[in-house]
Amino acid sequence: MRRTTCCKCLFTLFGISFILIFIYYCNINSDSIKNSSNVLNLRNEKSRTKSVETIVISVVVCDSRFNESLNVIKSALLFTKTPLYFIIFTDDNLKPKFNRTLSQWKILTRNQLDFELQRINFPEAHKEDWLNLFSKCAAQRLFIPKLLTHIDAMIYVDTDTLFLGPVDELWNFFSHFNSSQISAMTLEDDNPNISWYPRFAKHPFYGKYGLNSGVMLMNLTRMRTFGWVDYATPIMLKWKLYIPWGDQDIINIIFHYHENAVFVLSCRYNYRADQCMYGDACADATARGVFLLHGSRGVFHNQKQPAFQAIYKAIDEHVVGSDPSKSLLNNMEQFLSSASPSNCGNLKDTLLRLPIKTLNDLYDAPKR
C-alpha cells in the first residue's frame, strides 16, 4: 500500500515538473521570437534610413556668382531624387536672395531640397591674403573641416559646375575610400603635354599631373583627424608668390606629401574643356557620358566653348518645379545643334548620353 502511494506521489511530482519545464521553455522561445523580430525591425529601419540618406553638397559664393550657383543646385535637383542638403558659404548681402529663392524651391521640390547658409569666415591672421587668393572667397573651402563640425562628409563643387547625372553616384565613392583616404578628386589632366602642373608649376603637386579641385569629395571627420586646416596657412605663407591657382595649388601641395590620402576619380566627374578642345581626351566620358560639366575659365559665359554654353543655357532656362522630361532635353539638343562648330561640340552624344538616360529612368520617356 505504501509502495503504491509512493509511486503515485512520484508520478505526480514528475508530471508537475514536466509541465513546469515545458512552460519555462515556451516562455524562452516566445522571448527569443520577440527579440528576433525586434532585431529584424531594427535592420529594416537601418535599411530604410540608408535608402533615404541625405546627400550634403557645399558651394562658396561671392560677388557675381549668385545665378551661376543657383544653376549648380538646379542641376543637382534635376537629375537626383535623393534628398539634397546644400551648405552655402556666402556674403551677407547675398543671404536674403538665397533665402528667398531656395525657400521657394524647397516648396516646389516637396522638401527634396534643404539648405544652410554660412558666412564667409577666414582666420583673422592673414585674412586679406585668404580673401584675395585666386578669387574672392575661393579659399574658404580649405577651412570647412573646422567650420562644419556637425557634418561628417560632403561634396564640394565650384559654382561653375553642372551635374548631368544623379548625385548619388558621386556620393557612393565615399564607400570606396580605404582607411587612409580623406578626399577624392580628378587629375588636372593625364596628358603631360596638356596638364598645367608638369609644365608650369613652381611648387610641389600631386603625382605626375596634379589634381583639379573643382569637384572634391571631403570626408570632414577624417580631415579633422588628419589636421587638414593646420597645413593651410604655413603652406600659403611659404608658397603664396608661386600659387596662381590659389587653394587648388595648396591642396596639391598637401597631397604631394600625402599621396595615399586622396582617391582619384575618373575625368567624367569633372569634365572640362581640356577634355575635348583638342579632341576626345576622356575615354570614360565617351563610353558612359559626362557626369559633371565644369565650365572653368568662364566657358559657360563666353564664346570659347559653345557646347558648354549650350548645356548651361538649357539648365539656366529650366523652371524649377516643371517637368524636365518635356523641355530640358529638347533644349539641350536644340542649343547644341545650333551652337558654332567646335571639337567639344563634335562630342554631342558624350554630353547628352547621361542626361537622356537619367531623365528617362526618372520619368516616362519623353517624346522628342
Yes or no: say if 328 and 314 are a contact pair by the CB < 8 Å rule.
Answer: yes
User: What was the pLDDT predicted at 364?
Assistant: 65
Q: What is the mean pLDDT of residues 308-325?
A: 96
User: Residue 319 and residue 368: Cα distance in Å, rounded?
Assistant: 19
Domain ranges of the chain: 51-269, 273-362
Indicate whether 11 pLDDT > 70: no
Encode pLDDT of 286-311 as tens digits: 999 999 999 999 999 999 999 999 99
Q: Give the type of residue at 149.
A: T
| Three cell numbers, residue 260 | 595615399
Encode pLDDT of 67-110 as tens digits: 999 999 999 999 999 999 999 999 999 999 999 999 999 999 99
Half-sphere exposure in the Cβ direction for 268 (13 Å, CA): 18
Tell me which fold the domain 51-269 belongs to: Spore Coat Polysaccharide Biosynthesis Protein SpsA; Chain A (3.90.550)
User: Residue 321 and residue 367: Cα distance in Å, rounded?
Assistant: 20
Yes or no: say if 271 and 260 are a contact pair by the CB < 8 Å rule.
Answer: no
User: What was the pLDDT predicted at 192?
Assistant: 76
Indicate whether 133 pLDDT > 60: yes
Q: Percent of the chain having pLDDT more than 90?
A: 79
User: What was the pLDDT predicted at 367?
Assistant: 52
- In sequence order, what DSSP letters do the residues of 131-185 get, joined into one string? HTSSSTTGGGGGGHHHH-TT-SEEEEE-TTEEE-S-HHHHHGGGGG--TT--EEE
